[in-house]
Every structure is written in structure tokens, then in C-alpha cells.
Structure 1
Amino acid sequence: MLITEKQSLIGQLKKDLLLWQGVGQKSTDTLPMGLGPLEEAFPNGIFPRGAIHEFVSFDRIGGAVSCGFIAGLLGKLMRNGGICIWISCFHTLFPTAVKSFGVEPENIIFVRMVREKDVLWAMEEALKCGGVAAVLAETHQLDFVQSRRLQLAVEKSGVTGFILQHNPKLLGATACAARWKISSMPSQLEDGLPGIGYPSWDVELLKVRNGNPGRWQMTWAAGDFEPVAKVRSVAEEWRKSYANQGMA
């Protein structure tokens, strides 16, 4: 047997194993999320949809930048007019702000719970609705049993779930497909021009089921995710071109 045939067989076996473990993607869910090299960290190089993604933050800034990054992901999931259900006990999100990440605020159903212990129950019920694109819940704690119930729900409906844990007291094992930690970075200026610039994040995948944890620097430029290095390279080329024109 040729080496290429062996490699092909091994690759197919890996895909079969992922399917048997419930990690496989439906044919309609294999479109890339535009995360570039970050996306290669996931099984088969595809962002897991129909799974639960856990985000952790330890201060107000971490919570805010996590919401921004998640909004970018929601923009991809909702690009065909999909609906998102956002469940929380807090009142911290400015709905209009998510529009800059490609999300129409009127396509988000905000559910405000009085008691935090009801947030994950509401999320589980929302995840059972196959007609929504995503469900996001904000809470302070998530345990394995709760995460397993949520994962079972998305395996039936195919809905993608996001949990944002604010100041968790203990980070134990969960059944989530990935655990993310998003930190703020200085914004990247557009082509070297003055101003606020593009929002940027230091993205850590702390855990990835059947994948490879890692760390990346990402920015939201011109309505899409881009590696920070690429944006800096474009800005540097623009500055050099401008300088050369001035010398001509």
C-alpha cells in the first residue's frame, strides 16, 4: 500500500472516530467561520457547530471583550437571517453595539431571568428549538452535569450554544467542545490612519475536545476576523507606499 493511501485511510478513520464521539459536523455546518489559523485548532479544521462553547472572564473588561468576540461568531452563524436567544440576569449589553459585528439587534431575543439558577434551565429549553441559530447564556458557574445536559440538547437540535462564565469560582471539567479566554489588546488602526481602530483580542483556547489548544491574536477588520499580524502588515505596506509617493 502506498504512503498516500495509508494517509488517506488514517484520515478517514480519524473522521469516523469523531463522528462516533458525536463531534462530527452536518454537511450544512461545514462552512468556515473565517477564523484563519485559529480554526485549524478544531477537529478537521472546522469550528464546531451544534456544540457548546464555554467562555471564561475574570473582570469587567474580560466580560466586555468576550461579548465582542462572541458577537463576531454570532454574526457568522446568523448571516442568513438566523435568530439568537441571549439569556442573562445582567443588563450590561448595549444591543446596538453588536451591529458592528454583523449582527442585527432585532434578530436577538433577550431573555432576562430574575434568578441566576434559572439561566441554564432556560438555555437548555432554548437549545431544543432547532429554529434558532445560537443560544448564549451568561452565568457565574457551570458544572459537568449541567454542561452535559446542554450538550445532549444541541446534539439533537444542531443549535450552537455559548456560555459566558463571569468570575467563576472554580473551573472544573465540563462537556463543552471548547473553553475560551478572551483578553483585550490595543486596537489596530486602519491603514495607519488616526482614530479608534479595529477591536482586537488575545484569544486563548484553553481546552479543545479532540483538538489543539493554543493562543492567537485576532482583530475584527472590515467586517471579518483577521490575524493581527496580517492587519499590521497591510498598514505597514500602506505607510511605505504613502512615504514613497511623498518622496516622488
Structure 2
Amino acid sequence: MTLGQAETRTNHEQKERKTVDKRALIADLKERIAGGEPGNAGLPGAISLGTGIDEALPDGGLRKGALHEIAASAYRDMGAATGFLAALAVCAMKDSSRPVLWCEAWRPPFDMGRLHGPGIAAFGLDPARLLLAAPPGDSDCLWVMEEALRSRAFAFVAGEVDGRSSALSLAATRRLQLAAEETQTPVLLFTGHAKGSASVAVTRWHVAGAESRNILYADEMERLPGCPRWDISLARCRGGQPGRWRVEWNAQERVLSRVSPVKEGETKPAPAKARAAGDDIVFLRQTA
């Protein structure tokens, strides 16, 4: 074999290796797009919200790589909306070992205190996997959320921004949507009790508190509330259908299920863990 033939053969082998490398790179990129990251390949691209709700959503659940907006139906429902957002965070964490980022705001309408560790733990959200951020303003909050998404370090990103804020523009929410699509990470905007905010959110939810079934403890007259319930309305869904449901959150099983309204005098037996815990009540937020 002459020197020229050897060089030609070497060049040919190098081209073949480059072709193989490109094919491997393309396959890897397809895996990332489908699953968010190689370790998540094969996982469903949506978060299940329970039978009867998933069917109304085009992806068979809450789309992971998308921006979703949550608003309280009224100011009195701010706590209920916080609970629903926390439940979605728990559901999103089932398929990932990564932490959750929650950007808090203490300005109106979010003047209900900070997230309370014991409360969110009782709700099913592990405080050890929750990273809290306190951006000084709404624009800062949106920037932190976008950077968190692009870092691919979180299973779920949430932020509290007043729906009436000038920072909440179509351009800003479009950046969040693009970052969510790129990383296949769900991002939620909690807009307080404002209506009609300017955003490109794939879904928009209105949340109101609902009456839960009572749990009977040793004293039957206590009639303490059972699992949290909410009336949720899907006001907007790109490619899906609006709807309204009453749902219940089971923190022990980490399941969101559709339920019927409470009937007069309806009760529920106390679970063993709840009975042993006594009548102490913990809150999702704490003002002092």
C-alpha cells in the first residue's frame, strides 16, 4: 500500500467515524427532546391529574414542557390555590429525583406569609427537595424562573407574580414557554386572584376552596376536616377543552382524584396516622 493510498484510507475512516458520531448525537438529541434528559427517556410527557381531567387535556395530563398559569378564584381562595400548586409539584416530583424551585413573593396579593416547612411536609412535599427563592421584584422573579429552567436542575419551577404586573407580558411568558419546551420542565405561574393576565400559558386554571369530608376523632363533636378539596376550572387549554371539577388531594398516597360534592352529614373514618397525630393543624404558609 502506497503512502497516498494509506492517507485516502485514513481520511475515509475518519469520515465514517464522523458520520457515526453525528448519528449518535442526533439520537441523543431525540432522547433529550422526548424525555427532557437521557435518564428520563421513556417517561410520559405529561403529569396525570386523575381520571376525568386527563381526558380534557390534549397530552393526557398536564404537559411537562409547558407554561401553566394558576389563579385563585377570589382572594379568600389564595390558600387553596397554594395547596393545588403544591399538589402539582408533588405529582411532578414522582418521575424525577431533582429538586423543585419555588419563587415566593410577599407583596400583595401574596401577603399570606412564607411557605411553612411542617405544613408542606404534611402536604406531601419534601422540604429537603424544595429550594425557595425570594426575588426582589416581578421582573427578577421571571428571570430567575427562566434561568432555573435552562439549568435543567429542577423537576418543577414555580413562581408567584401578580397577574396585574407590567412585568407579566407576552414576551416574558413566551421566554418561559420556550425554556420549558427546550428542557421539558413544567413551569407554573401563580398569579394571585387577578384575572386575564397577559401570558402565552398552555393552560390557565382557576382554583377555589371546597368543603371536605369530616374526619371523626375520639370526640365525635370535633368534626375536623379531612383531605383538602378544591373546585378547579380549566379556563383555557390550548388544543384541549375547558372544564370544571371537584378534586381531592391525598397527601399520604400523593394522588389527586376527582370527587363528588359533600352531602349533608357525610363523614369519613380517621386514618390510623391521622388519629395518632392528634388534632394539631399545620399550615402551608406562616406569617410569623
TM over 0.5: yes
Alignment gaps of 5+ in structure 2: 1-32, 36-41, 107-112, 270-288
Residue type at the aligned position of 2:257: E
Counterpart of 1:197 in structure 2 is: 226
Q: RMSD of aligned C-alpha atoms?
A: 2.7
In the TM superposition, residue 173 of structure 1 has moved relative to its aligned partner by 4.7
C-alpha contact 2:46 2:60 (8 A) present in aligned 1: no
Quick one: which of 130, 154, 157 aligns to 2:180? 154
In the TM superposition, residue 125 of structure 1 has moved relative to its aligned partner by 0.9
Residue type at the aligned position of 1:183: A
**Which structure shows the bigger proportion of residues in helix conformation?**
1
Q: Which has the larger radius of gyration?
A: 2
Residue type at the aligned position of 1:203: I
Q: TM-score, normalised to structure 2's length?
A: 0.66
| Matches for 1:66-77 after TM superposition, within 5 Å | 66-77=81-92
Post-superposition Cα deviations, 1:23-69, rounded to whole Å, max 9, x if no partner, equal x9644234652422111111142321111110112644322111101
Q: Look up the SS of the partner of 1:56 in the other structure.
A: strand
Q: Look up the SS of the partner of 2:245 in the other structure.
A: strand
Alignment gaps of 5+ in structure 1: 1-23, 239-248
Counterpart of 1:54 in structure 2 is: 69
Residue type at the aligned position of 2:101: I
Post-superposition Cα deviations, 1:86-128, rounded to whole Å, max 9, x if no partner, equal 1123243223222233210121110011223311111111111
Count of residue correspondences: 212
Post-superposition Cα deviations, 1:179-229, rounded to whole Å, max 9, x if no partner, equal 000000111235898422111000000000100110000011353212222
C-alpha contact 1:25 1:48 (8 A) present in aligned 2: no
C-alpha contact 2:228 2:249 (8 A) present in aligned 1: yes
Quick one: which of 106, 109, 122 aligns to 2:131? 109
Q: Percent identity?
A: 26
Q: Look up the SS of the partner of 2:159 in the other structure.
A: strand
- Between the aligned partners of 1:88 and 1:36, the Cα distance in structure 2 is 31
Counterpart of 1:35 in structure 2 is: 50
Residue type at the aligned position of 1:120: L
Counterpart of 1:83 in structure 2 is: 99
